[in-house]
């Protein structure tokens, strides 16, 4: 297969790795990790990260929004009203219309509340937002989000911050087959091999925060994730061999001594 460009809402990005900006020890460490990762999209929790008060340290002082695309998200929102209010604020602060929608159902497991998520997607789309949606790995709900106007589907691999890796490959494959939208794994990645698997399943990208930020060496892990995404994508495009229960010799029996 010939690779296609990584395009979201008609904007083309070089890197298929999206990096979060939370949980780092400092803005400086965050900036170094992002630079090493090669990511050109970073998610920003509007409710948690200072992006407007110039009297305090701001993320913008370390990561230039003119060079890297900021993706405001609604982390910490549990209702459609909170999410919509948060993204309207982001639009007022930075003019951002490409956003990541995240409406949670509970504080313990942080699973997406899909009824509120679907309602938010419909309302935000009508307001002109380009909505990338964090969701569960339900193919039916993913299709509803696509029909509601989402510009990217972002199913979880496992609970946010769990590092458990991809728990349901079958559903991810089904979602891949049924959507033409960018499919981006969001939440649950723990190590580089998880990112490679996501890409080998045909996903267009991977969003990673905790696995990098809380690693013992975040900078090195950022590089590992970068290489894993590239490797997994190349593997997917190369076309794997058909799995077989029996062995197959590497050389033929023709001319054997």
DSSP state of 30: H
CA–CA dist 175, 143 (Å, integer): 8
pLDDT at 174: 96
113 phi/psi in degrees, rounded to 5 = -90, 100
Sign of CA dihedral 219, 222, 226, 231: positive
| Whole-structure pTM value | 0.90
What is the mean predicted confidence (pLDDT) over 225-230? 97
In this structure, the dihedral spanned by the alpha carbons of residues 115, 119, 125 and 128, taken in order and rounded to 10 degrees, is -130
- 7, 100, 108, 216: which one is catalytic? 100
Please name the residues in contact with 65: beta carbons below 8 A apart, sequence gap of 6 or more. Answer: 94
* Bigger pLDDT: 218 vs 108: 218
Domain ranges of the chain: 13-238
Secondary structure (DSSP) of 67-125 = TSEEEEE-TT--SHHHHHHHHHHHHHHH---EEEE--BS-TTT--B-HHHHHHHHHHHH
Alpha carbon distances (Å) from 98 to 9, 28, 91, 137: 8, 25, 9, 22
Residue 98: alpha-carbon gap to chain centroid: 14
67 is catalytic: no
Write out pLDDT tens, residues 162-176. 999 999 999 999 999
CA–CA dist 124, 34 (Å, integer): 28
CA–CA dist 21, 253 (Å, integer): 56
pLDDT at 255: 66
DSSP state of 176: H
Write out pLDDT tens, residues 42-70. 999 887 666 667 777 888 889 988 899 99
CATH for 13-238 is 3.20.20.70
């Amino acid at each position: 297969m010939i690779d296609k460009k990584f395009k979201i809402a008609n904007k083309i990005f070089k890197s298929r790795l999206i990096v979060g900006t939370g949980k780092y020890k400092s803005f400086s460490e965050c900036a170094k990790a992002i630079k090493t990762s090669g990511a050109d999209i970073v998610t920003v929790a509007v409710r948690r990260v200072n992006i407007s008060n110039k009297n305090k340290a701001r993320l913008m002082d370390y990561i230039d929004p003119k060079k890297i695309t900021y993706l405001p998200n609604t982390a910490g929102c549990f209702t459609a009203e909170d999410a919509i209010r948060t993204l309207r604020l982001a639009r007022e602060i930075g003019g951002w219309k490409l956003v990541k929608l995240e409406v949670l159902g509970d504080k313990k497991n942080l699973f997406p509340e899909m009824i509120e998520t679907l309602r938010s997607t419909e309302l935000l789309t009508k307001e002109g937002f380009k909505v990338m949606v964090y969701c569960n790995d339900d193919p039916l709900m993913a299709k509803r989000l696509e029909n509601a106007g989402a510009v990217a589907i972002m199913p979880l691999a496992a609970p946010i911050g769990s590092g458990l890796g991809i728990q349901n490959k079958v559903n991810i494959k089904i979602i891949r087959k049924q959507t033409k939208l960018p499919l981006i794994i969001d939440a649950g990645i723990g190590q580089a091999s998880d990112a490679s698997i996501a890409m080998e399943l045909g996903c267009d990208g991977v969003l990673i925060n905790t696995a990098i930020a809380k690693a013992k060496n975040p900078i090195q892990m950022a590089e590992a994730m970068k290489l894993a995404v590239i490797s997994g994508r190349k593997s997917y495009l190369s076309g794997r061999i058909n799995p077989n229960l029996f062995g197959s010799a590497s050389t033929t029996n023709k001319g054997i001594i």
